Structure 1
Amino acid sequence: MNSQMKGLQKVAENLCRKVERGIWAVSGSLKFEELPYQEHKINLNDRVFITERSVNGKKELFELHYDTKLQKLLDIFLVS
């Protein structure tokens, strides 16, 4: 379990670095899709994105919350 948490923390840190460089300037294999639904937002300035990655053929889906006022990544959730 502890190694799983370390792995998720590493993924979160990696995604944070990429998102903080600029949500639209991300290079590589990550593609972001914005969710337009209000119920997914943490606050009024929140923009919610989903992205996925594949590890050893297994897809992982992430939900990212980006605050447009602070220009900062608020949170990352592992969806599946």
Structure 2
Amino acid sequence: MTFEDLQEILAEQFSCSPEDVTEDTDLFDDLGADELDLTELAWNVGEGIGEEVSDEDIAACRTVGDVWQYICDHT
């Protein structure tokens, strides 16, 4: 999975432009993520990296950069 893939996933999930999704984008303040969104994101990231990602792991992420670091650490 590339960072661009993550941008596309988030852009589709949160109805925004991929260019608006940067490492500094806050999942909660900027994208308005809630618990259901985090569950969906965990599933999408898991599909992208080929392993199960727990909701708790994604919930520990605050920014897109945190999610990207998680992906890098697990691939």
- One fold, TM greater than 0.5? no
TM (norm. structure 2) is: 0.31
Structure with larger RCO (C-alpha < 8 A, sep 6+) = 2
Return the index of the structure with the highest Cα Rg. Answer: 1
More strand by share: 1
TM (norm. structure 1) is: 0.30
